[in-house]
Amino acid sequence: HTSATHGILNAVSWGILLPMGAIVARYLKTFKSADPAWFYLHVACQLIGYAVGVSGWATGIHLGNLSKGITYSLHRNIGIAVFALGTVQIFALFLRPKKDHKLRVYWNVYHHSVGYTIIILGIVNIFKGMSILDVAQKWKTGYIIAIAILGGVAVALEVITWAIVLKRRKTEDKAYNGGASNNNGHLPM
């Protein structure tokens, strides 16, 4: 059934693989031992997710062409936006400045903003699609559980990575001050 194929492809791509790729990039790069593996894992999740998403998007276009007179405008428009933004992200990979380039900070802001927008719109559209198809509650519940697991992993990794970052800063500050504790335990002003 084409509509089931469309839903499954899009739920797996935009709704699971892309969020996983974002989690990999956001949290694994904190671990120095994961460099550069985190980057290749991020790119792999995003490229596979995008490729599967393109297939899901194409089946959606086909479904739209088959259903003359029936239009789900919001679902269609969000799908077009997700596909367009995803395509821009893929091309932006080739325009990524080197780490020390003065424009890299702006590229990072763009990349993160567009990436999170894609993830949010993708998840919203998956739920819109489930409503359109009137899928069984077990599929909605399964997807909610999958997203909740990804969210839980992200929250746990957020706490862990902040602890690591703060510990590194403290260690670097001690090294910077020569280990001297002449500031009564306070950071230098």
All domains in the chain, ordered by first residue? 2-176 (1.20.120.1770)
Distance of CA 90 to the CA centre of its chain: 13
Residue 171 has pLDDT above 60, yes or no: yes
Neighbouring residues of 176: CB distance < 8 A, sequence distance ≥ 6: none
Distance of CA 73 to the CA centre of its chain: 25
Cα torsion angle, 134, 137, 143, 148, sign: positive
pTM of the model: 0.83
Q: What percent of the chain has pLDDT over 70?
A: 93
What one-letter code names the amino acid at 77? N
What one-letter code names the amino acid at 79? G
Q: Mean of the per-residue pLDDT values for the chain? A: 89
Instruction: Report pLDDT for 93.
Output: 86
SS3 68: coil
